[in-house]
Amino acid sequence: ISICRDLPNIEVITFSVNGISDLEPLNQCQNLSELYLRKNNITSLNELFYLKKLPRLRVLWLSENPCCGSDPHRYRMTVLRNLPSLQKLDNQAVTEEELTQALVDGEEITAPPARSSLESSCPGSTASSAAEPTTETERELLNFSLEETNKIREELGMKPVPRDKFSSFSPRETDCNRKKRNNVLNAILLLTKELDAEALEVLQQTVGRRLQACRKKELQEE
């Protein structure tokens, strides 16, 4: 997710089911209001250190990460103690009572997590991760990616992507290339709302030429 370092104005990020373990690049996203990180590889709640200085963050979905641990109360209290401006955590509204209780039951995070020199930038490069996911996992990934992509498109005033048009986001591509492509696509969709009419026309022409080149290449390969 290093691309986020260059997106200080991004407001909604959906990186669920992506093998993400490091949230440091997000500390540059000062306008971030919604962050979806469900089912990643975030092992330590100390990663919240990088989110504490995001003044507009109101929605966080962090469930089904290793950092949630076996004690859901302690997990929720720790998140809310460090991110008291949240209005919704893991798709559940935050109450004033919880914020008060979090000051007692939650753990204050004052430092970033320690990094191992052996950590890989791409979890999919390990032998254990190289195998194709099960059919159930593939279906869940596709459904969740479609849901979140359409949420972004709704934010931009765009029509949702029909399921039968979503095949290009195949969950079988489990390596770094798939993750990078989807992340770049989400970033581009969000940034289009920063463009005026003239810039959008330039973008449309560029995309049109690129699409024609891709189709020509596909025909040649056939």
Map out the domains of the chain with their CATH numbers: 2-105 (3.80.10.10)
Q: Does the pLDDT of residue 112 top 60, yes or no?
A: yes
Interhelix angle 176-191/135-155, rounded to 10 degrees, is 20
- The tens digit of pLDDT for each residue in 127-166 reads 333 334 444 444 544 555 667 667 766 766 667 766 665 5
Long-range contact set of residues 93-97: C-beta below 8 Å, sequence gap at least 24: none
Q: CA 40 → CA 2, 17, 36, 86, 202, distances in Å?
A: 16, 5, 10, 20, 36
What are 62-103's pLDDT values in tens digits?
999 999 999 999 999 999 999 999 999 998 999 999 999 999
pTM above 0.95, yes or no: no
The model's pLDDT over 170-184, given as tens digits with 9 standing for 90+, comes to: 444 445 566 666 667
